[in-house]
């Protein structure tokens, strides 16, 4: 019963997120990714490594997609490029 309630709650939250429209949804994802970058750039040097994000499975899974030059670091610029490709370009296509 609890699993069913939890699953329904998750569906309602996810549905509510999308119900605001794809533009808001993608903007929120873009903001979340940039906030993640700032969170894990603890020393403020403008880049994060795999070791900085150990335990964040989602970001680790996307690391190679974001690290464009394959130098082992995600820079703020690389994250911004990724965000633009993944989310902001989708906003333009929804209009």
Chain-wide mean pLDDT for the chain? 84
Domain with residue 32: its CATH number is 1.10.238.10
Q: Are 1 and 73 in contact (CB under 8 A)?
A: no
If we measure between CA atoms, which residue out of 73, 81, 83, 85 comes closest to residue 46? 73
Alpha-carbon distance values, 9 to 3, 4, 64, 85 (Å): 10, 9, 33, 31
Domain assignment of residue 86, yes or no: yes
Output the pLDDT for position 22.
86
Q: Which residues of 2-33 are buried (b: 16+ CB within 10 A; e: fewer)?
A: eeeeeeeeeeeeeeeeeeeeeeebbeebbeeb
pTM to 2 decimal places: 0.74
Examine residue 4 and state whether it is found in any structural domain, yes or no. Answer: no
Q: From CA 77, how far away is CA 74, in angstroms rounded?
A: 8
pLDDT cut 70: percent of the chain above it: 78
Note down the domain range covering 88. Answer: 21-94
How far is it, in rounded angstroms, from Cα 27 to Cα 11? Answer: 20
Count of domains for the chain: 1
Give the pLDDT of residue 57: 95
pLDDT digits (tens, 9 = 90+) for 18-64: 457 888 999 999 999 999 999 999 899 999 999 999 999 999 999 99
Indicate whether 2 belongs to any domain.
no
């Amino acid at each position: 019963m609890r699993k069913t309630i939890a699953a329904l709650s998750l569906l309602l939250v996810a549905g509510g997120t999308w119900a605001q429209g794809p533009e808001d949804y993608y903007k929120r994802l873009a903001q979340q990714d940039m906030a993640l970058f700032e969170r894990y750039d603890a020393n403020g040097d403008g880049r994060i490594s795999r070791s900085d994000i150990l335990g964040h499975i989602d970001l680790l899974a996307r690391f190679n997609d974001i690290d464009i030059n394959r130098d082992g670091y995600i820079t703020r610029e690389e994250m911004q490029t990724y965000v633009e490709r993944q989310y902001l370009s989708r906003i333009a296509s929804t209009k």
